[in-house]
Amino acid sequence: TREVHLVSRPKGWPEPTDFALVETELPPPGDGEALVRNLFMSVDPYMRGRMNDVKSYVPPFGLNEVMTGGAIGEVVESGSPDLKPGDVVLHQLGWREHAVAPAKEFRKVTPVDGVPASAFLGVLGMPGLTAYAGLLDIAGMKEGDAVFVSGAAGAVGSLVGQIARLRGASRVIGSAGSDEKVAYLTDRLGFDAAFNYKSGPVHKLLAEAAPDGIDVYFDNVGGDHLEAAIGAFNDYGRAAICGAISMYNATEPQPAPRNLALVIGKRLTLRGFIVTDHYSVFGDFVREVGGWLAEGKVHFEETVFEGVDHAVDAFLAMLRGQNTGKMLVKL
């Protein structure tokens, strides 16, 4: 079986040579363990942070060790009464074709009608919960708010915009990195306005897309997007600070928003959060978003690379914006 190891810590943009595809022998599952064949693995932006040897909310990946991350698999063999062959499980032993581990590492998932199991890595999984908890609990989005989301065509952002629309936002504005993605936001996902952030200064593009200002900003990008949002905020605006992907490959500390002092006069709230603190609302999230999916009110995309030998390519492509919706690797 094959797995991906981190072999050197990237400086700036990761290179394919920072990783190695390694062939290993699988041990048979022992008592209380299960052997799982992975069907899909996730590549996520936060993994870039784990490649650095710094203290963070998740420990760094070890060098010359298999990496970890979200995956969906099927139980092949089980030494535990809790799992049986054929069960579909969600777990953290991604970046490999097979996993052998104690049964408690694997969480059985109940398939949702008409939704593929891969959705548990995206719209019905960690990124979906990030969108839900971040928009509703952290930014406190309410009916009538004008909502702006960056990274809007990605896994988290595409759901943020749709939840905002379905929860009665007065206007939903998104930014993304290509004209195709912008068309996808307005034509397919029902955003009221969208812009390609590569086509001009973000503050100008945002001012045009949100002539009456914004009340909520869901930040996936940081940098000039955050600065533009601070400029566009109405009084008492709230930002959920979710990610800062424009900075993840920076080798030097990046400048803060130059207009940060506006936070005072506008009485703004900028609030960071980590999704793992919000699993208490997972049930509400699956009920509400699962319901919208079943009714066809929420749309989701997946961009799929094939094979563990293309997992690194998928990760790098995601950082470059080659995904629409959730980036996945089919194993």
Q: How far is the CB of 188 from ligand NDP (least distance, A)?
A: 15
Q: What is the DSSP string of 15-55?
A: -GGGEEEEE-PPPPP-TTEEEEEEEEEE--THHHHHTS-S-
Q: Is 257 in the site for ligand NDP (CB under 6 A)?
A: no
The correct pick among 80, 101, 105, 273 for binding ligand NDP (CB under 6 A) is: 273
Binding mask 62-101 for ligand NDP (x = CB under 6 A): ----------------------------------------
Say if residues 23 and 308 touch (Cβ distance below 8 Å).
no
The correct pick among 242, 289, 308, 329 for binding ligand NDP (CB under 6 A) is: 242
DSSP, collapsed to helix, strand or coil, labels residue 234 as strand
Strands 302-306, 269-272: pairing is unpaired
Q: Is 130 in the site for ligand NDP (CB under 6 A)?
A: yes
Q: How far is the CB of 85 from ligand NDP (least distance, A)?
A: 31
Residue with token string 């200064």: 201
Q: What is the DSSP string of 174-193?
A: EEESSHHHHHIIIIIS--SE
Span of 19-27, 62-70, 187-195, 315-323 interacting with ligand NDP by CB under 6 A: 315-323
Q: How far is the CB of 182 from ligand NDP (least distance, A)?
A: 9
Span of 60-68, 97-105, 152-160, 251-259 interacting with ligand NDP by CB under 6 A: 152-160
Find the Cα–Cα–Cα–Cα dihedral 246, 247, 251, 257, rounded to 10°. 110
Question: Which residue, 249, 226, 240, is CA-closest to 45?
Answer: 249
Q: Is 243 in the site for ligand NDP (CB under 6 A)?
A: yes
**Which of 261/274 has CB closer to ligand NDP?**
274
Q: Is 127 in the site for ligand NDP (CB under 6 A)?
A: yes
**Which of 23/252 has CB closer to ligand NDP?**
252
The correct pick among 29, 69, 94, 157 for binding ligand NDP (CB under 6 A) is: 157
Q: Where are the alpha helices (DSSP H) in the chain?
A: 46-50, 126-132, 155-166, 179-183, 202-209, 224-232, 262-265, 282-294, 311-320
Span of 84-92, 187-195, 210-218, 271-279 interacting with ligand NDP by CB under 6 A: 271-279
Say if residues 71 and 23 touch (Cβ distance below 8 Å).
no
**Which of 35/286 has CB closer to ligand NDP?**
286
Q: Encoding tokens for residue 106?
A: 């694997």
Q: Is 177 in the site for ligand NDP (CB under 6 A)?
A: yes
Q: CA 302, CA 163: separation in Å to the nearest integer?
A: 18
Q: What is the DSSP string of 74-107?
A: EEEEESSTT--TT-EEEESB-SBSEEEEEGGG-E
Q: Which of residues 10-49 bind ligand NDP (CB under 6 A)?
A: 44-46
The residues binding ligand NDP (CB under 6 A) are 44-46, 127, 130, 151, 153-157, 176-178, 181, 220-221, 242-243, 245-246, 273-275, 318-319, 321, 323, 327
